[in-house]
Amino acid sequence: MSDSFLDHLPSREREKIRKRLRSPEEYERLRDKVKGPEDLERELKRSEQLAEVKFRIETEPETMERLQNRIADDLEKRGVEGVLEEVSLPESARAALEQGRFMVSVEAHPQTQEDTLVVLPEGNIQDKVPVKPAMSETYIQSVLTEK
């Protein structure tokens, strides 16, 4: 039988931790983390879609070009604020985006670490700018429906 970290704490500290873990608030917090079958199915479907989009972007240059053109058009029409989540960009990155000099990829979101569609402005590839979720869905569906 393995020792838990609780076995190495003084009894008073152990009791405090056990009380906190049994509290209704802690129970609710942990319960909210549990995902139901619908949530898991939705996540699986989204992951499959993003994997397909990433594969097409990497293997079909014409798909990458069409997606870049579509995002560039939307950036021109709606502005950076209308298409991208993060608008506090360095001036050089903002200019590159507005001029259509960027790459499109599926990468981990900087805050949530979930895969999402991002644009990488020409120049500094460290500037990954996530596309807004609604716009991202539109672009993903357009890539999946074309052929």
Tens of pLDDT along 21-50?
A: 777 877 787 777 777 888 889 989 999 999
Using a 10 angstrom Cβ sphere, with 0-12 exposed, 13-18 middle and 19 or more buried, the burial of residue 102 is buried
Quote the DSSP letter at residue 146: -
pLDDT beyond 90 at 51 = yes
pLDDT beyond 80 at 71 = yes
Domain range list for the chain: 61-145
pTM score of the predicted model:
0.69
Q: Are 131 and 116 in contact (CB under 8 A)?
A: yes
The residue among 2 and 95 whose pLDDT is bigger is 95
